[in-house]
Amino acid sequence: MSVLSSPFAKKPNTVTQLMLWVVLATLPGVFALVFFFGVGVIVNLFIACSTALITESIILKLRQRPVAPILWDGSAFVTAWLLALALPPLLPWWMTVLGTSFAIVFAKHVYGGLGNNIFNPAMVGYVLLLISFPLEMTTWLPPQELAAHPVGVVETVGIIFSGQGSNTATIDMLKQGVDGYTMATPLDHIKTQLAQGYRLPEAETAPIIKGLSGVGWQWVNLGFLVGGLVLMFKKVIGWQIPIGVLLGMGLISLPLFFANSDEYLFPMFHGFAGATMLGAFFIATDPVTASTTPKGRWIFGLGIGAITVLIRTFGGYPDAIAFAVLLMNMAVPMIDYYTKPRTYGHARNAKESS
Amino acid sequence: MEATRANDTGQTVGGSLMERSNFASEIPIFEIPGGVHPEEHKTRSNQADIRTLSLPDELIINIKGQAGNRSIPVVEVGDTVLKGQMIAECDGIFSSYQHAPTSGTIVAIEDRTIAHPSGLSDQCIIIQPDGKDKWCQLTPVRDFDQLSREEMLATIFESGIVGLGGASFPAHIKLKRESGIHTLIINAAECEPYITCDDRLLREHSREVLKGAEVISKLYSDIDIVVGIEDNKPSAIDALVSARKELGFSNIKIAVVPTKYPSGGEKQLIQIITGKEVPHGKLPADLGLVMHNVGTCFAIYETFYLGKPLIQRLVTLTGDACKEPGNYWVPFGTPVSHIINQTHAESPKRIIMGGPMMGYELPSTEVGIVKATNCIIMSAEGELGFDNPTLPCIRCGACMDACPASLLPQQLYWHAQADEFDKAEEYDLFDCIECGACAYVCPSHIPLVQYYRYAKSSIKNNRIEKTKAEKARQRHEARQERLERVKREKAERHRKAAEARKKAAQKAGKKDEKKAAVQAALERVKAKKKAQENKDDNKPATGEEK
Ligand code: SF4
Ligand code: SF4
């Protein structure tokens, strides 16, 4: 006779529900992305998610695990979903497939599957692609309102799958199509300009830097912020990590900005540029790879924020959330060890003996 | 003071349907970390008055029906007993007396399935009721002012009173310490969903409970009494207030605490009421506190005022399958099958003894209820439990946020499932109170508490094994030591003999080395001869030396 163990009370959440919430909460950001950067975003989501589900099924079969229940936990889907949101909208399809399957196979299952991986799988996939295909990975479409040649659905699909749009527009032609502006993201643009000796106010005169952090990007970030806050209030994610990330960014970027505003970006720009909000609320909060103690979550978040700004400012990559997350992932075991909360009835400063 | 709004520090998520008391706590209360708000299900059983069940055909009294040692039967098969008559005596002070819950015949003393998740059997005294329910001679001790402290404690001990909050720890042990105790806390924070026996007891017997508390307070020279009660029991709070007024017990304060599981845990309630934590390895008494449950107070009242030993308790019978839910006086040993019958339960899916958070599923209904049984849940299909498969831990930390002991349940689980028990201990495994709050919130539906119980019992077993091995090792070493000693002594004797010879040689004052050598050889031969003559075992060896 199988006898269950207490507690018997109905439990409030399931992993599947949490994952579903995460996906739902990205929707405002997804809409903004699609609005500004076209349907390529959706195509990417589709490619990445189907790749993830197929890869996960194959691996589970190979590992002789039950396929359906584990697929149903939604974790592979969410990994792919978040990865796709970080990819450029017109990335060739096979790169998306490569990045996603690499994330599922190497970042997740090689470690033993859900719960055992050390590194955030989506970010592992992202970094693989970024290192292997730096050009493609930093080539963004211009926001639709700036594009001389808005890209339609058919062209998007054509470019992604064959590098060739229906209007015989290739990605290279598109690149030329925008009045002399590169297709870089605002962060990328500023990085290049600064490297070429321009001062920040000059770099910021470019049309794509309109508003808080560049055309489109501020809305995309706002979208992810709104969704992230919903997750926070629904208690799907803790608040320490996302707040920590934003705070960590502020702590580094604010003094820099005050020291030299000709060279260092305004903190708000960091907050609403690139993958900041997506990273802070959806990526850094991946529970499996984040620190798990209350104090550790703070340190983890602050670390990601700080490292992101440092890499963006002094490093070689324009956006750096992925690197920051992976670096902090490495520090998690140590953070967790030293931030063990004080157990009821134990002395305040008690460290575990030995 | 009564009119002001209750001190509302806790949220009431998931419990919005329950009534909340507006009574303001009379002492400031503190918050505890963690905790959860499971659906309450209390109105199902707290509406009806307390009732009694008809007597079953037999009572199955488990002699290990309380914490501590087994009791020792003092009756024999065939004996007739009266209600309240002692049938098993304690085995040491960490044990309990047991009394016949009704009059009848002892028909067997044998192993029966007992109330335990494993379905184990243990010795039980089986009483067949004669239906007369005839009491033995009762001797109340109403003028307990005349009794010495020791006599009062003995009265409590001999009445078989154990803590009725669920742990069934012998009550007198908690009351042993006399000096330095300044506060008696009456635990009425019945925080398990479904259970309402304390609630109902207070509504109907507040005066008796307070009188029982007063008896306890007589054990100490100067003591405050605080009743800790969750704000989801407004009627019980009202009853307490009026009973206190009626009895003129102005030294009793009522602490209304927000509804949150597990506020009723001893350590948690202490933290809520005093803001202090019981230090690791210490007892509440070390903080000057002693805590008893309302049911225990009632039992103490009955013992002193009416002379009745503890032979029954109030049990919440509930669950969707139970057709007459409520609180019943149930004599110890009443089989659960009888309870199911009497409350007309319809094919219950699962029978849980205790609450849904900490109770356990009974593998058999042919078990007698024990002193610790505060609730029987007869659940209907789909009411309790869930068929969600267990998924891997995603380290979401929900468990940690829910843990009232500020543990890291995810780490405890990680180490427990890997059998890394020393690591689990490093993460303070033994500070886990097994409240189940962590498992309740776990989105991966990992039966966390089960792992902790497994780890704890493995560690305990290992320790027992270790002490056994240690003893064996000591025995072995002692033997080795003895053999070594014998050997050493032998060697010492040889050394001495050799020395003696050397001296003898020097005495002879040989100048010529050759001569000396010859002399020595001669000596050896002599010694050898002598040895053979003496037939001494050791001598041949000596002869060969050098
Ligand atoms: S709640 Fe469950 S899944 Fe989350 S960390 Fe705790 S054990 Fe792991
Ligand atoms: S069962 Fe133990 S680990 Fe889990 S919440 Fe309760 S005290 Fe914490």
3-state secondary structure B497-531: HHHHHHHHHHHCCCCCHHHHHHHHHHHHHHHHHHH
More confident residue, A127 or B19: A127
CA neighbours within 13 Å on the CB side: how many for B32?
32
| pLDDT value of residue B546 | 38
CA of B404 to the centre of ligand 2 (A): 7
| pLDDT value of residue A261 | 80
Q: Taking chain B, what is the end-to-end CA distance rounded to the nearest angstrom?
A: 103
Using the predicted structure, report yes or no on whether residue B395 has a pLDDT greater than 50: yes
Kindly state the DSSP code that residue B218 receives in the 8-state scheme.
Answer: T
Give the H or E element holding residue B99. strand B98-99
Give the H or E element holding residue B542. helix B539-544
pLDDT tens digits, A238-248:
999 999 999 99
pLDDT tens digits, B341-357:
999 988 888 899 999 99
A20 touches B: beta carbon within 8 Å: no
| pLDDT value of residue B14 | 39
Give the H or E element holding residue B59. strand B59-62
- The answer to whether residues B113 and B60 touch, using CB atoms and an 8 Å cutoff, is no
Quick check: B441 and A13 CB within 8 A? yes
Cα angle value B38/B43/B49 (rounded, 5°): 140
| pLDDT value of residue A171 | 58
CA neighbours within 13 Å on the CB side: how many for B320?
9
| pLDDT value of residue B443 | 92
Residues of B in contact with A342 (CB under 8 A): 406
Q: Report the residue among B414, B444, B445, B449 best suited for mutation to probe ligand 1: largest number of ligand atoms under 8 A from its CB.
A: B444
The alpha-helical segments, DSSP class H, found in B336-442 are 336-342, 398-402, 409-417, 421-426, 437-441
Give the H or E element holding residue B154. helix B149-158
Residue from B27, B432, B11 nearest B270 by CA: B27
| pLDDT value of residue B18 | 59
A168 touches B: beta carbon within 8 Å: no
Which residue lies with its CA nearest to atom 7 of ligand 1?
A: B410
Chain B residue with minimal CA distance to A72? Answer: B391
Give the mean model confidence (pLDDT) for residues B389-404: 91
Give the mean model confidence (pLDDT) for residues B488-510: 83
- The answer to whether residues B141 and B155 touch, using CB atoms and an 8 Å cutoff, is yes
Residues of B in contact with A8 (CB under 8 A): 350, 352, 356-357, 359, 361, 377, 379, 384-385
A68 touches B: beta carbon within 8 Å: no
**What are φ and ψ of residue B297, in 5° steps?**
-60, -40
Quick check: B411 and A292 CB within 8 A? yes
Total number of residues shown for chain B: 546
Quick check: A292 and B117 CB within 8 A? no
Q: Which of A1, A2, A5 to mutate to test the interface with B (most CBs of B within 10 A)?
A: A5
Using the predicted structure, report yes or no on whether residue A174 has a pLDDT greater than 60: no
pLDDT tens digits, B143-201:
878 889 999 999 999 999 999 987 888 888 889 888 889 999 999 999 999 999 999 99
Using the predicted structure, report yes or no on whether residue B339 has a pLDDT greater than 80: yes
Query: Which of B20-34, B379-393, B407-421 shows the highest mean pLDDT?
Result: B407-421
A117 touches B: beta carbon within 8 Å: no
- The answer to whether residues B430 and B456 touch, using CB atoms and an 8 Å cutoff, is yes
Confidence of residue B15 (pLDDT cuts 50, 70, 90): very low
Q: Report the residue among B32, B277, B435 best suited for mutation to probe ligand 2: largest number of ligand atoms under 8 A from its CB.
A: B435
Give the mean model confidence (pLDDT) for residues A299-322: 91
Q: Retrieve residue B244's tokens.
A: 């206190």
Give the mean model confidence (pLDDT) for residues A34-62: 93
| pLDDT value of residue B534 | 65
Kindly give the number of the ligand 2 atom that is closest to the alpha carbon of B431.
7
More confident residue, A353 or B320: B320
pLDDT tens digits, A13-26:
889 999 999 999 99
Residues of A in contact with B385 (CB under 8 A): 4, 8
- With helix as H, strand as E and coil as C, how does chain A read? CCCCCCCCCCCCCCHHHHHHHHHHHHHHHHHHHHHHHCCHHHHHHHHHHHHHHHHHHHHHHHCCCCHHHHHHCCHHHHHHHHHHHHCCCCCCHHHHHHHHHHHHHHHHHHHCCCCCCCCCHHHHHHHHHHHHCHHHHHCCCCCCCCCCCCCCHHHHHHHHHHCECCCCCEHHHHHHHCCCCCCCCHHHHHHHHHHCCCCHHHHCCCHHHCCCCCCCHHHHHHHHHHHHHHHHHCCCCCCHHHHHHHHHHHHHHHHHHHHCCCCCCCHHHHHHCCCHHHHHHHHCCCCCCCCCCHHHHHHHHHHHHHHHHHHHHHCCCCCCHHHHHHHHHHHHHHHHHHCCCCCCCCCCCCCCCC
**What are φ and ψ of residue A76, in 5° steps?**
-65, -40
CA of A336 to the centre of ligand 1 (A): 15
Using the predicted structure, report yes or no on whether residue B86 has a pLDDT greater than 90: yes
Residues of A in contact with B391 (CB under 8 A): 15, 69-70, 73, 114-115
Kindly state the DSSP code that residue B533 receives in the 8-state scheme.
Answer: H
| pLDDT value of residue B10 | 35
ipTM here = 0.84
B441 touches A: beta carbon within 8 Å: yes
Give the mean model confidence (pLDDT) for residues B312-341: 95
More confident residue, A1 or A263: A263
Which residue in the set B39, B397, B410 is minimally distant from A238, CB to CB? Answer: B397
Q: Give the Å distances, CA to CA, from B537 to B447, B490, B540, B541.
A: 71, 12, 7, 8
Q: Give the Å distances, CA to CA, from B218 to B149, B179, B190, B193, B245.
A: 8, 13, 25, 34, 19
Give the mean model confidence (pLDDT) for residues A123-145: 84
**What's the rounded Cα separation, in Å, for the pair A322 and A122?**
9
Helices (H) then strands (E): counts for chain B: 15, 17
Which residue lies with its CA nearest to atom 5 of ligand 2?
A: B403
Strands (E), B287-398: 289-293, 312-318, 326-331, 350-353, 360-361, 375-379
Lowest mean pLDDT among B35-44, B195-204, B295-304: B35-44
Kindly give the number of the ligand 1 atom that is closest to the alpha carbon of A292.
5
Using the predicted structure, report yes or no on whether residue A145 has a pLDDT greater than 80: no
- The answer to whether residues B445 and B390 touch, using CB atoms and an 8 Å cutoff, is yes
| pLDDT value of residue A10 | 74
**What's the rounded Cα separation, in Å, for the pair B375 and B358?**
11
Q: Which of B263, B406, B441 to mutate to test the interface with A (most CBs of A within 10 A)?
A: B406
Quick check: A345 and B350 CB within 8 A? no
- The answer to whether residues B62 and B71 touch, using CB atoms and an 8 Å cutoff, is no
**What per-residue string of b and e applies to B399-435 under the rule 16 or more CB within 10 Å gives b?**
bbbbbbbbbbbbbbbbbbeeeebebbbbbbbebbbbb
| pLDDT value of residue B382 | 82
Chain A residue with minimal CA distance to B38? Answer: A9
Q: Give the Å distances, CA to CA, from B332 to A160, B49, B102, B317.
A: 76, 20, 9, 14
Confidence of residue B11 (pLDDT cuts 50, 70, 90): very low
Question: Beta-carbon neighbour count of residue B60 at 10 Å?
Answer: 27
Please report which ligand is nearest the Cα atom of A292: 1
Confidence of residue A178 (pLDDT cuts 50, 70, 90): very low
Assign B150 to helix, strand or coil. Answer: helix
**What are φ and ψ of residue A137, in 5° steps?**
-75, -15
**Residues having CB within 6 Å of any atom of ligand 2:** B 402-405, 407, 409, 432-438, 448-449
Which residue in the set A288, A340, A344 is minimally distant from B394, CB to CB? Answer: A288
| pLDDT value of residue B92 | 84
Q: Which amino acid is at A58?
A: I
- The answer to whether residues A55 and A106 touch, using CB atoms and an 8 Å cutoff, is no
**What per-residue string of b and e applies to B72-105 under the rule 16 or more CB within 10 Å gives b?**
ebebeeebebbbbbbbbebeeeebbbbbbbbbbb
Using the predicted structure, report yes or no on whether residue B396 has a pLDDT greater than 80: yes
Total number of residues shown for chain A: 354
Q: Which of A2, A3, A6 to mutate to test the interface with B (most CBs of B within 10 A)?
A: A6
pLDDT tens digits, B48-74:
899 999 999 999 999 887 888 889 999
Using the predicted structure, report yes or no on whether residue A155 has a pLDDT greater than 90: no
Assign B191 to helix, strand or coil. Answer: coil
> A78 to chain B nearest CA, in Å?
13
Q: Which amino acid is at B221?
A: S
Residue from B313, B318, B53 nearest B201 by CA: B313
Kindly state the DSSP code that residue B263 receives in the 8-state scheme.
Answer: T
Which residue in the set A6, A73, A336 is minimally distant from B391, CB to CB? Answer: A73
Q: Estimate the crossing angle of helix A40-62 against helix A75-86, to 10 degrees.
A: 140
Q: Cα Rg for chain A, rounded, in angstroms?
A: 21
Question: Who contacts B247 (Cβ-Cβ below 8 Å, separation ≥6)?
Answer: B207, B210, B211, B214
Residues of A in contact with B426 (CB under 8 A): 352, 354
More confident residue, B521 or B27: B27
pLDDT tens digits, A278-303:
999 999 999 999 999 999 999 999 99
Which residue lies with its CA nearest to atom 2 of ligand 2?
A: B432
- The answer to whether residues B139 and B305 touch, using CB atoms and an 8 Å cutoff, is no
Give the H or E element holding residue B257. strand B252-257
| pLDDT value of residue B2 | 32
Question: Which residues does residue B350 pair with via DSSP β-bridges, in sequence order?
Answer: B379
Using the predicted structure, report yes or no on whether residue A111 has a pLDDT greater than 90: no
**What's the rounded Cα separation, in Å, for the pair B218 and B249?**
13
Which residue lies with its CA nearest to atom 4 of ligand 2?
A: B438
Question: Beta-carbon neighbour count of residue B219 at 10 Å?
Answer: 21
Q: Retrieve residue B417's tokens.
A: 């499932």
| pLDDT value of residue B511 | 58
Q: Give the Å distances, CA to CA, from B160 to A157, A333, B111.
A: 81, 51, 22
**Burial (Cβ within 10 Å: 0-12, 13-18, ≥19) of residue A64:** exposed
**What's the rounded Cα separation, in Å, for the pair B148 and B279?**
31
Chain A residue with minimal CA distance to B379? Answer: A8
